[in-house]
Each structure stands twice: as structure tokens, then as C-alpha cells.
Structure 1
Amino acid sequence: MEKQDHHIPASLHALGWTTALQSQLGLEDAGLEPMRVSAVHRSKMTAVSVDGQAKLSLPAAMTTADFAVGDWVLADPHSYQLSRRLDRHSLLQRQTVGARQLQLIAANVDTVFIVTSCNDDFNPARLERYLALTNEAGTGAVIVLTKVDQTPDAAKFQREAAALQRGLPVVSINGKSQDAIAALAPWCGAGQTVALIGSSGVGKSTLLNTLAQKSKDEAQATGGIRADDAKGRHTTTSRSLHTIEGGAWVIDTPGMRTLHVSDLSAGLDELFAEITELAPDCRFRDCTHKHEPGCAVQSAVAAGTLDPARLARWSKLRDENEQNTPVVTGARGNKKMSVRGRRR
């Protein structure tokens, strides 16, 4: 956890302000107030400052699509006219079908809570996609298993989740219980920021209500899992910033039905470290680990030291990432971005 710098007012530090942000201020910023984006909608944006909430006015050259919840901006303290956005230390973003721009999910996040429930919603392949996204963003990740009170074997889910990535923290909770606050406290200290991501209906809104100690009138709406297929219903429809017990901030996000892999090479390498480390021992530098002779990865599968299911999921994600990641083509001065294949 980052220690508070004596040059940073306690009120700003409580919002997540850091020395790295402080160092970005110059003489030209005199008279402007640091504010943190708390909600982004199609045509409006709100932010929180040491004086409370404010609706921001954007210059003509900016749109709300340029900002993510959690961003730090500088604005006029009287008119709330936004001047500029400060550099982010982390950014969660994803590619969506048919969109030219990446969708910004959350900015300046320290830890991502990847929330899933102990029922049929638990899906290792989908969790790996979330982990690759989180790794690429440069944030820490914690798998949060909810609804442990509704399963006879929570330990089974705990083992499967922990095996997805080396050193991955996994916490099992009942999102309605006050015990969840203590279980997640190591990542929820004063000035820290966590983001909740996961599918619909896994308990993100319930967990937020518990962590934020929201009253009945303030609580985020919650929805259950459909009995026929264990799929969740959307209850959160936009991203928003909330303060929680311990002084941390939580960015709540809508459930994601699909998560396409694009431009996540480093994130995949970290996720599948056991494969990444074996690859240099393959006979061919461009080995696909599918059929080539002298493949160290296939040898590990044959020896029983590498799970073939993990290799199959790595291969699928790597191929999807290559197909979906834009590449630069064309002569100098006339370069264009294109994708190799069709997005899945």
C-alpha cells in the first residue's frame, strides 16, 4: 500500500491522489482543482473533489468517450470546465464487436476483483480472459468467489481458481455477510482503488452494497441468477465510483456477457507463464506448440507436467488475439491499422 506523502493533503490522498499525479502539475495548472471522474454517460460526466460531487463541462474538442471512471482531471473550481486529463497509471479497456474504439472500463485501478459465483456460472476459460485483460492493464488481480453459502464444496472452486495463474489470490465470501469486508480488507486500504468486474448476476452489486455499507435507499439494485441456466440478469447499467469501508474506492461495472481478446500479448504471457517459460526450449522459434517436432510444450504435456486443457485454452486465446489485434500496414506517412482476421 502506498504511503501518504507529506506534501499531499490528506483530503486529496483519501480520493486516491498520489505523488505520481502530483508530479504532473505545472505552473500553468495554478487555479485548477484536481477532480476524479465518478461516472461517465453518453452526454455527461460527473467527478468528485474534496468539496463533493460536480457535473463537468467538456471543451468542444473532447467527448465523454475519452474518459474512464477513475480518471483524474483538472477543472475550474467555479465553472467545473474541464481543462485536461492527467496521465493514468493503469487502464482497463476492451474491444467490443463492431466498435472502432476500445471501450474504457476503469482507470487508475490498483486491484481488480474478478467476481464469480460458486455455481454453474464458474467458468475457468472466461476467468482467464478477465485475467489476461487485468494483466495487460498492469493491475493486481484477486478472484473473489461469491455465494459460498450456497454450495456444499467451496474448496473445489477455490482450487480451480487458484490454478489459473501463479500467485493468484483467491478469496471465498458470502457477499451479504459483514465478514466480506474483513476478507477483502488487504486490498481496500485508504486511498486505494479496486474495480469489480465479472458476469451479470455473480454478486457484484451485492458485494458493493456490503463493502460500502449502503442503506436500503442508497443500495445498488441486485438481481438473481436464472434458475434454468445459472446466467445472471443485468442490474448495473453504468460504471460508477463509490467509497467503501477502510477508505478505499470501488469502481462498479456492468456485467460482461462476452470478452474478446485483442492486443493482450503480455497479459497472456503472464497468465500462461508455464507455457511462456517452456517456449524458448522448443526446436523452432515460431513453434505453435501444436504439431512441430522438438516442441518442449508438447513434451511437458506428454510427461504429465502440463495440463492439456490449459494448452488448448492458451492456443485458442493466442489465435484469437493474433486475429483481433490491429497491425500497421502501408508505406511511411500512409500507414493504416487493420486486423488479420475476423473478430469472433
Structure 2
Amino acid sequence: MTRDYSQFFPPAGGGKTAERTRSKLDTLGWQPYFAQQVDMDDLIATPPARVVEVHRNGLHVVGDGIDRLIPPGPEATVGDWLLLDPDQPAASRTLHRKSLFKRRAPGTDRRLQLIAANVDTVFIVTSCNRDFNVARLERYVALAFDAEVTPVVLLTKADLCDDTDPYLQAASAISRRLVALALNALGPEPRVKLKPWCGPGQTIAFLGSSGVGKSSLVNALMDDQAVGTGAIREDDAKGRHTTTRRQLHFLPNGCAVLDTPGMRELQLADAQDGIADLFDDISALAGQCRFGDCAHDTEPGCAIKGALERGAITPERLARWNKLVAEERFNSASLTERKSGEKALQRTIRAIQKTNRK
């Protein structure tokens, strides 16, 4: 029987999704942004499905009447929407993304690692203890700004802290565009405080170190124990990995929730815009320097040096900006070099194959 996919397109006349019966795709996070990329013929021949897990042997996708593991092929990550080819699933097409989290892969491998796609809000989770680190939080915020995703810092274990105000003030000072909340991840508090971002059709993600309460927050939103949790080490407040892979969960109201493993390393690459947005004050000053190639060191007419001398910016904040800018440039250059090397290798292989055919 042919399905009626007309409900998956934006309502005529600008009507809201809430004014009609929610479809299966609605509950998976289907939005007009994705519907506008396809036509009726596409939907009938290749129905939409969302990637809910990435395995070594393929992608776990879910859709209307679809729940299957497809072989590797589409360049996709958790949260992506595919037009699933039933006959050749490895040839399924990935729809253009609303947002994408990416980083340089850990270790020495010079490649980009896709973390998650099509996220509307990212909750950057840290604790009111020795895990709290402004420099690390700035990396996550820059990642969110670069992806054009709303960032919210969540300070967990507030019930174990005598005074959460210093943590809240330090987190809020990272950016004027940032919201910071303190809460207890184990009670009903998350469902109340996070409700404004967890509406129908929204996709939220939790990012942060191990042991800060990401899985506990997911469980609190789902009102069950669907995700395993673990205790932190008492000697250094570091967490143990309890989530081993990125996975989408779905709330009854149609909000998609992404839980992720703790990240020991977050190397930024292709994130120049995100860093500029995070340090918008320093970025603006850099544009006022007398020389366009100012290194902000000993050059005359350096606006950043002037701001530092006036106390408008702190040496610590400037040092963190310099470190992130240098890291991003190095990583992006390394990735570009790798891509150039791969293209050169492909040209060599094609030339050899062409010679052998003669």
C-alpha cells in the first residue's frame, strides 16, 4: 500500500505542526527544513529515515515503518536524515543538515570526525566540583556557535555544592549569548528547568566530560533508567565512561535527545567562525589594529595590546583566544593537507589504471 506522505510537507498557509495530528516522522524530529529539500516522488521512492546510532558495521535508521541497520555508505552521523533507498541502502542520500558538530579526530589521525547533526540546542554539562574548567567550556561553546546551535551550560551536582554562584558567574562570563543553569541531575529538576528547550520536533544534545551527569539528565527527561550511569572517582572528581556510543532517544512529546560519551579530547577544526563568535570582543579589536597582519605582540597600533593595557580584556582570556586560534589554524591546515594528499593519490591511481588498460 502506498503511504500518504502529504502530511510530511509544511502545511499550506503556514499552519503549525501542533494543529494537526503528529506523524511518526514528527516524533522523530522531522521539520519543514527537511521537507523543503524533497518532493513527493522522492518520499515515495526513498522514504525518510533518521540515523539514531552509528555502528562499525552500519547505520541504525528509524522512520515511518522503518527500523533497520543499513550497511556503511552514506556519509552520515547520529541525527542525520536520509532518503532511504530500499534496494540499495548504501546509496541512500543524506539530506542537507541544519547543524553539524565536528572535531578533529582524537590521536594522530588527520581527519574530521562527525559528532552529531541537526541539533537545535546543546546542553554543555559540567559539575560544581573540580571538573569545572572555563577553557574546556569555551571549546564546547565555540563548537556550538560554529554549528549555529543554541548552547546552554548545565552545572550538575548542585546539591553537593555549598555555593553554586561562583560557578554560575564564571560560566555566564564566557559569552553574553550563553545561558547557565545549576541543577541536580538525579531528581525531577531537569524536566522543569530544561522544558523550554525540549518541545515537540526539537533535537537536544548533551556534551561534556565523563561522569558529569549527562546520562542521568537523559534518564530524568525520559522518567526512567534507559541509560546506564556510573559514579565519579573520589580522588580527582573524574568520571567513568557509562555511555559508549552516541545514541538518539525520543521523548513522548516528540523531542529527540542525544546522549554522548564523555570527550577526553576536543580539538577544534574548521571552526574559525565559532571561535570568532565566542571571543567577539577580541575579534572586533583585531579588526582595529593598524596592520592587517598584526601578530598582537610588539606591533605599534595594536588594538588588542591597547585593550590589555587598559584592563578591557584579561591576560588569561587573551591567552585562551590565542591558543584556540593557533590550534584551529593548525588542525584545519593539517586536514587540508591530508585532503590534498588523498586527491594526489587518487590521480596517481587513475593514471596507473589508465596506463594498464592501454
TM beyond 0.5: yes
The reply on whether 1:75 has 2:84 as its aligned counterpart is yes
1:23 & 1:7 partners in 2: Cα distance? Answer: 19
8 A contact 1:21–1:86 mirrored in 2: yes
Q: Deviation per CA, 1:87-116, whole angstroms, max 9, x where unpaired?
A: 111111111222243111111101111100
The reply on whether 1:49 has 2:49 as its aligned counterpart is no
2:213 & 2:252 partners in 1: Cα distance? Answer: 18
Task: Please state whether the residue corresponding to 1:319 is helix, strand or coil.
Answer: helix
Task: Please state whether the residue corresponding to 2:301 is helix, strand or coil.
Answer: coil
Structure 1 unaligned spans of 5+: 338-344
Using the TM superposition, give the Cα deviation of residue 50 of structure 1 relative to its aligned residue in structure 2, in angstroms. Answer: 3.3
Aligned to 1:342: none
1:8 & 1:22 partners in 2: Cα distance? Answer: 17
Q: Deviation per CA, 1:145-178, whole angstroms, max 9, x where unpaired?
A: 1110011111110000001112201111100111
Aligned to 2:230: 223
Q: Which amino acid aligns with 1:185?
A: K
Using the TM superposition, give the Cα deviation of residue 84 of structure 1 relative to its aligned residue in structure 2, in angstroms. Answer: 1.8
Using the TM superposition, give the Cα deviation of residue 4 of structure 1 relative to its aligned residue in structure 2, in angstroms. Answer: 2.5
Give the alignment partner of residue 87 of structure 1, picking from 87, 92, 96: 96
8 A contact 1:57–1:82 mirrored in 2: no
Determine which structure has more spread, i.e. the larger CA radius of gyration.
2
Q: Which amino acid aligns with 2:263?
A: M
Task: Please state whether the residue corresponding to 2:122 is helix, strand or coil.
Answer: strand
Give the alignment partner of residue 37 of structure 1, picking from 45, 51, 54: 51
Aligned identity (percent) is 46
1:233 & 1:188 partners in 2: Cα distance? Answer: 27
Aligned to 1:190: 200
Aligned to 1:144: 154
Q: Deviation per CA, 1:213-257, whole angstroms, max 9, x where unpaired?
A: 124xxx211112211111111111000000136431111111000
8 A contact 2:73–2:91 mirrored in 1: no
Using the TM superposition, give the Cα deviation of residue 73 of structure 1 relative to its aligned residue in structure 2, in angstroms. Answer: 1.1
8 A contact 1:239–1:254 mirrored in 2: yes
The reply on whether 1:12 has 2:25 as its aligned counterpart is yes
Shift >6 Å, 4+ stretches: 5-8, 77-82, 334-337
Using the TM superposition, give the Cα deviation of residue 142 of structure 1 relative to its aligned residue in structure 2, in angstroms. Answer: 0.7
Aligned to 2:262: 255
The 1:210–1:6 alpha-carbon spacing in structure 2 relative to 1, beyond 3 Å, is: closer
Aligned to 2:4: none
TM-score by length of 1: 0.87
Q: What is the aligned length?
A: 327
Q: Which amino acid aligns with 2:248?
A: L
Q: CA RMSD in A?
A: 2.8
Q: Deviation per CA, 1:169-215, whole angstroms, max 9, x where unpaired?
A: 11111001112111011111011001111001111011111111124
8 A contact 1:95–1:101 mirrored in 2: yes
The 1:8–1:68 alpha-carbon spacing in structure 2 relative to 1, beyond 3 Å, is: farther
1:79-228 correspondence to structure 2 within 5 Å: 83-96=92-105, 97-215=107-225, 219-228=226-235
Q: Which moved more, 1:110-119 or 1:258-267?
A: 258-267
Aligned to 1:296: 303
1:257 & 1:222 partners in 2: Cα distance? Answer: 18
Task: Please state whether the residue corresponding to 2:187 is helix, strand or coil.
Answer: coil
2:273 & 2:50 partners in 1: Cα distance? Answer: 29
Quick check: which one's helix share is greater? 2
Task: Please state whether the residue corresponding to 2:200 is helix, strand or coil.
Answer: coil
8 A contact 1:149–1:174 mirrored in 2: yes
TM-score by length of 2: 0.84
8 A contact 2:26–2:254 mirrored in 1: no
1:118 & 1:234 partners in 2: Cα distance? Answer: 19
Task: Please state whether the residue corresponding to 1:56 is helix, strand or coil.
Answer: strand
1:47 & 1:71 partners in 2: Cα distance? Answer: 9
Task: Please state whether the residue corresponding to 2:131 is helix, strand or coil.
Answer: coil
Using the TM superposition, give the Cα deviation of residue 295 of structure 1 relative to its aligned residue in structure 2, in angstroms. Answer: 1.4
